[in-house]
Structure 1
Amino acid sequence: MSVIAYLNFVGNTGEVIDFYEEALEATEIKRFFFKDFPQDPNYPIPAEELALIMNASMKFAGGIIMLSDVLPSMKEMADNFIAGNNVTLSVVLKDKDQIKSYFDRLSVGGTVTMPLAETPWSESYGMLVDKFGIGWQFNCTSDEYYYTN
């Protein structure tokens, strides 16, 4: 299992990745863009935001960092963004049942912000804020990229 820092930015994650790539000599950078996902007609993403990063990751000598953009159109999240409150913990496991177990237990008294569901990068991915205000992401993948041991 890995617990990985997950960083969010408002519209400039590509720039952050480029900076960290050079500064940390990062390798194996993966990027998924909002345009790569089917759009929900009930919640359309503005065309100018489709090129923003939905999920990215990079390896460096000290581990892995994951990153994504908060869409500027997600007004409440974007307006409340403060550098420093943009970090969550990402639990990465190969076992889908264990992901669900951790997700269910950590969500008690908290708020599920995205129920567990399949995504292009994960067999089961979800997000929540626990009862202490800590943001968590859960990522079920067999991709060895995410395991540092």
Structure 2
Amino acid sequence: MIVPAIHFPGNCKEAIEFYQQVFDVTDVSIDYFRNAPPDPSFPVSEDIHDQVMHSEITICGSRLNMSDTQEKLAAGNMICLNVFFQSGDEVCQVFQRLKEGGKVVVELGPQFFSPMYGSIEDKFGLKWQLIS
């Protein structure tokens, strides 16, 4: 399953609230950076403590992931595709293929929210998050 992920420069919660007023929004789930377990390789600073780490919402029957990011964003580069797989092996295979000519954003490995996760920008500049 492929789910579009939209990244925001710190105003994701505001965007979710706006879209709830505009569209038929259901199944809202929001996780904040403050709720992530401590991880020395990804310290959560106070300035992002209350930002959205991950959210899932359904707009007019279509599922979207939305989150805040620290990356520099401009209109047009705010979209990432999240691909959900049944197994970690599938994640590894696709990650290795997308890696050819691309750039690793987050190295492949287990995360607290997934047994296998990796993030990559492919050779065409499209961002992917691979999740089992």
TM-score by length of 2: 0.88
Partners in 2 of 1:5 and 1:55 — Cα distance?
Answer: 12
1:45 deviates by 3.1
* Amino acid paired to 1:61: C
1:13 deviates by 0.3
Kindly report which structure 2 residues correspond to 1:78-97, keeping only aligned pairs within 5 A, or say none: 78=72, 81-97=73-89
What is aligned with 1:29?
28
Query: Structure 1 pair 93/32, CA: closer, same or farther in 2 (3 Å)?
Result: same
Matched position secondary structure for 1:98:
helix
Partners in 1 of 2:82 and 2:111 — Cα distance?
Answer: 15
Q: Are 1:45 and 2:37 an aligned pair? A: no
Query: Structure 1 pair 41/139, CA: closer, same or farther in 2 (3 Å)?
Result: closer
User: Which shifted more, 82-91 or 44-53?
Assistant: 44-53
What is aligned with 2:58?
59
Q: Which runs of 5+ in 1 are unaligned?
A: 72-76, 141-149
104, 120, 125: which one aligns with 1:128: 120
What is aligned with 2:129?
137
May I ask how many residue pairs the two structures share in their alignment?
A: 132
What is aligned with 1:143?
none
User: Percent identity between the aligned chains?
Assistant: 30
Alignment RMSD: 1.8
1:44 deviates by 3.6
What is aligned with 1:68?
67
1:21 deviates by 2.4
1:84 deviates by 1.6
1:58 deviates by 0.9
Query: Structure 1 pair 22/122, CA: closer, same or farther in 2 (3 Å)?
Result: farther
1:41 deviates by 4.3
TM-score by length of 1: 0.79
What is aligned with 2:11?
12
1:97 deviates by 1.1
Matched position secondary structure for 2:37:
coil
* Amino acid paired to 1:53: V
108, 123, 126: which one aligns with 1:116: 108
